[in-house]
Amino acid sequence: MVFVLGMIAVLVTWLTLSVTTVETEEQLRRSASDIEIMAKRARNIAVRQQRPYQLTISEESVSFKPLHSQSDEVYFEDSIDDESPREEFEDVVASEETDENVKLEIKRWMSDEWVEIQGDRTVVLTLDPVGLVEPISVRCTVGKSWLMQELNPLTAGVRDEEMSIEKE
């Protein structure tokens, strides 16, 4: 009888740790994919509208908006009179809340330091319609577990990924 109860306790403990590990992985993947999805979406809109967008990553949210709004006459003023008029596009903006339990860190191009996104600190990336996106790495952390993704400079999608899930 004691043996059976001991085995049940071991199984319950093992299942609890397994479920916690799966939940942590899902939490990390959700946070990282929110950043990737917003970056890819903003990049695609920038290419389609032929104007730069900016992606802003903060402790509370990931968002994008046009770098210059349609009402910014200085930016959209045609430089040559015989040039065809610029097509009018609606300003597209989007925002996604981040998980407060996930710590976000960014490593910018040509840097060896991870910058933690906390408080008023934000990271702003310009997504130009032509050319490359700044290749950044994003690290999401929950406890001792982490997921790191490097964004592709051509597509703003994930180029490389590493993950470590630790049992708490």
Q: Does the pLDDT at position 14 exceed 90?
A: no
Residue 74 burial (CB < 10 Å; 0-12/13-18/19+)? exposed
Q: Where are the domains of the chain?
A: 2-69+87-164
**pTM of this structure:** 0.77
Q: Which CATH superfamily is domain 2-69+87-164 in?
A: minor pseudopilin epsh domain (3.55.40.10)
Residue bearing the bigger pLDDT, 144 or 84:
144
By 3-state DSSP, what share of the chain in percent is helix, strand and coil, each rounded to 5?
30, 30, 40
Is the distance from CB of 147 to CB of 32 less than 8 angstroms?
A: yes
Ramachandran angles phi, psi of 124, nearest 5° = -120, 125
- The radius of gyration computed from the CA coordinates of the chain, to the nearest angstrom, equals 22
Reference 107, options 160, 28, 60; nearest CA is: 160
Q: What is the pLDDT of residues 84-125, one digit of tens each?
A: 556 788 899 999 999 999 999 999 999 999 999 999 999 999
Q: Which helix (H) or strand (E) holds 76?
A: helix 73-76
Is the distance from CB of 98 to CB of 60 less than 8 angstroms?
A: yes
List Cβ neighbours of 60 (8 Å cut-off, separation of 6 or more).
Answer: 97, 98
| Average pLDDT rounded to a whole number, residues 145-150 | 95
